[in-house]
Amino acid sequence: MRRRILAATGAAALLAGLLGAPATAAPSTVAAPPDIPLANVKAHLNQFQTIATNNGGNRAHGRPGYRASLDYVKGRLDAAGYQTTIQSFTYNGATGYNLIADWPGGDANQVLMTGAHLDGVTSGPGINDNGSGSAAILETALAVSRAALKPTKHLRFAWWGAEELGLIGSTYYVNNLPSTELSKIKGYLNFDMVGSPNPGYFAYDGDGSSGSGGPAGSAQIENTLRAYFTSINVPVRDTAFDGRSDYGPFIRRGIPAGGLFTGAEGRKTTAEAQMWGGTAGQAYDRCYHSSCDTISNINDTALDRNSDAIAYAVWTLGGEGGTPPGETVYSDDFETDKGWTANPAGSDTATSGRFERGQAQATTYSGTALQLAPQGGTGSLVTGAAGGDPGANDIDGGVTSIQSAPITLPTGTLKLSVSWYLGHLNNASSTDYLRVRVVGPNGTTTVLNQAGSAANRSASWQTATADLSSFAGQQVRVLVDAADAGTGSLVEAGLDNLTITRS
């Protein structure tokens, strides 16, 4: 990762696992991505260390250690069945190289690209920066091969040269790709330093919750990456799209992007040390761009978690383990009124923050995001859309509910998907909640039942799914309710992008 900052953009949000309450039908689960073996990732790092040791102590642009690193990665990918291409360029009088690896299959017009820079600085072997990202995406690519994955999207992996000198390799790739091919890249995932010894857990801001965000589609990438960390109960904070790594050339061309980062020369705060462990006041990576960035400069837990998160994102964004998305039979992005009825049973008790379809304003309280702007477009289903004061429009006084118009479902295998968030402060309790149910003539299924807690929970867009096949051929309604049910507390909730598909 380069020390110099080139550009600016923003940060933040997303995704929790389902907490399904008992119901007549159980929520479905997406095909599980693999657990990436830490030992395999560390084996690649040991190879990079050996290569550096045997080649002047570094793996920098124009040095033999870089080309030896590229040849190692290429050899593993070739043996695994990838179609590999070496792209050469010249910078500072030396030849540099990008390695591009395509997994056969998938929709060639829908490319999901995953990248990391393979070069280091001249002062050391560059094992965390960025052997860690390079090794993690290499093992993810090999896991794709082991699983004989047949994703919906076409998967492409890249190892960039001369990142440390100013994103030279990735910029060369983007600038020299024909516009027709560039338009096929629907998402770029970047992993630069994912094993810092005093790690933080940061995700690039796709939805702009703490900055200007990324191109359209970046929120989904951020949300997906955050989903994995939510599933293992590890909090994630935003990091800005500041142009510091290889996502820069992609977002400048309007390509959705995202990624993870465990920190470089910045220092861990006291709050972060309390949240993640480690040492407050010390750099996330005290060996950043130094000779001590060796195989000993890695936090195994951070490397393991991030490697698994990378696989989760590739499997999920690549097409849910290869399962086609299916035919859309119902969708509501809340841009227009499709007949939702507030307080359908006439029993709501909330005095403010009642559910409505509207253009929500992002609000925060002491750094905790409580209400989010819509995930896409200008509308969402939200508790109290108006106003920027987090205490003036949140749920107060009890329960608020809203119900869809009747939805007639066809026969077949049906799946519901909906984006959601729940944000609250530490004055909340387990009696506060956000719940989404599907109600039919013969029963109910719970899509989401997320309880509050006595902790600050930063709102983030997440995705919940449920199998609705038991309702095939029936007429159903979607019922959403949320509550500030205990003592008065700051609680906000929202939904967006509700879809039902048939496969």
Residues facing residue 355 across a β-bridge? 383
Spatial distance between the Cα atoms of 40 and 245, rounded to a whole number of angstroms:
25
Sheet holding 83-91, edge to edge: 83-91, 94-102, 153-160, 107-117, 185-191, 257-261, 202-204, 237-239
87 with 81: CB under 8 angstroms?
A: no
Token output for 480: 């959403």
Length of the chain: 503
198 with 283: CB under 8 angstroms?
A: yes
Largest CA distance in the chain: 75
Q: With helix as H, strand as E and coil as C, how does 316-378 read?
A: HHCCHHHCCCCEEEEEECCCCCCCCEECCCCCCCCCECCEEEECCCCEEECCEEEECCCCCCC
Token output for 97: 């190289």
**What is the amino acid identity at position 354?**
R
Report which DSSP code applies to 140.
H
79 with 89: CB under 8 angstroms?
A: no
List strand residue ranges (DSSP E) for 148-273, in order. 153-160, 185-191, 202-204, 237-239, 257-261
Angle, alpha carbons 224-228-233 (nearest 5°): 135
Spatial distance between the Cα atoms of 258 and 241, rounded to a whole number of angstroms:
9
Catalytic residues: 163
Whether omega before 130 lies within 30 degrees of 0, making that bond cis, reads yes
